[in-house]
Structure 1
Amino acid sequence: MKWLTVNCTEELPKQWDQLAGENIFLKRRFLQHLETVNPCQQTYNMLLETDQLKAAYVDYRLKPDIFTYSIFTLKIPVTIMGIPCSVAKEGFSVCSGYEKFVLAHFQAKKGAKLILNSALGLPAKGGNTLPSCKMEVLWSSFNQYLESLRSPYRYRIKKAKKKWQDVKVDYIKPHAFDRDYYQLYEEVYLNSHAKLEKLNFEFFQQQPLPSIIIIATHKEQKLGFAQVVDNGRELIFLFIGFSHKLNSTFDIYLNLLLEIIDFAIDNRFKTIDLGQTAEETKLKLGSELFTKGMYISHSNFLLDKLANQYINLFSYQIPIYDFRVFKMGETDENFTS
Structure 2
Amino acid sequence: MTLPEHLVAKVYQLYLNTYQKAELKFERLTLEYFFNTRELSHYLMFFLEDELIGFTQLIAKGRKLVNRYIGLDYGKSYNHGLYFAMFIRAVEFGIREGFAEIELGATSYEFKRILGARQHPTWNYYRHTNPLFNWLLGKLRSVLEPSESELR
1:316 aligns with 2:151: no
Q: Distance in 2 between matches of 1:229 and 1:238?
A: 7
The structure with the greater share of residues assigned to strand is 1
Question: Structure 1 residues 174 and 318 mapped into 2: Cα distance closer, same or farther (>3 Å)?
Answer: farther
Question: Structure 1 residues 196 and 219 mapped into 2: Cα distance closer, same or farther (>3 Å)?
Answer: same
Q: Which residue of 1 aligns with 2:2?
A: 172
How large is the RMSD of aligned CA atoms in angstroms? 2.7
Residue aligned with 2:148, SS: coil
Q: How far does residue 278 in structure 1 lie from its aligned partner after superposition?
A: 0.9
Which of 228, 234, 240 is 2:64 aligned to?
Answer: 234
Is the CA contact 1:174–1:206 (under 8 Å) kept in the aligned structure 2? Answer: no
1:248 aligns with 2:78: yes
Residue aligned with 1:293, SS: coil
1:185 aligns with 2:20: no
- The CA deviation string for residues 84-132 of structure 1, in whole angstroms up to 9 with x for no partner, is xxxxxxxxxxxxxxxxxxxxxxxxxxxxxxxxxxxxxxxxxxxxxxxxx
Q: How far does residue 321 in structure 1 lie from its aligned partner after superposition?
A: 7.0
Question: Structure 1 residues 320 and 215 mapped into 2: Cα distance closer, same or farther (>3 Å)?
Answer: closer
1:276 aligns with 2:112: no
Q: How far does residue 314 in structure 1 lie from its aligned partner after superposition?
A: 4.9
Q: Distance in 2 between matches of 1:178 and 1:226?
A: 13
Question: Structure 1 residues 204 and 295 mapped into 2: Cα distance closer, same or farther (>3 Å)?
Answer: closer
Is the CA contact 2:68–2:105 (under 8 Å) kept in the aligned structure 1? Answer: yes
1:207 aligns with 2:65: no
Residue aligned with 1:280, SS: helix
> Normalising to structure 2: TM-score of the pair?
0.81
1:133-172 paired onto structure 2 within 5 Å: 171-172=1-2
Q: Which runs of 5+ in 2 are unaligned?
A: none
Question: Structure 1 residues 226 and 214 mapped into 2: Cα distance closer, same or farther (>3 Å)?
Answer: same
Q: How far does residue 205 in structure 1 lie from its aligned partner after superposition?
A: 1.5
Question: Structure 1 residues 176 and 295 mapped into 2: Cα distance closer, same or farther (>3 Å)?
Answer: same
Letter in 1 for 2:106: Q
The count of residues paired between Structure 1 and Structure 2 equals 147
Q: Which residue of 1 aligns with 2:49?
A: 219
Q: Which residue of 1 aligns with 2:27?
A: 197
Q: How far does residue 250 in structure 1 lie from its aligned partner after superposition?
A: 0.9
Q: How far does residue 212 in structure 1 lie from its aligned partner after superposition?
A: 1.0
1:261 aligns with 2:94: no
Q: Rg: which structure is higher? A: 1
The structure with the greater share of residues assigned to helix is 2
Q: Distance in 2 between matches of 1:220 and 1:250?
A: 15
Q: Distance in 2 between matches of 1:241 and 1:320?
A: 22
Q: How far does residue 196 in structure 1 lie from its aligned partner after superposition?
A: 2.1
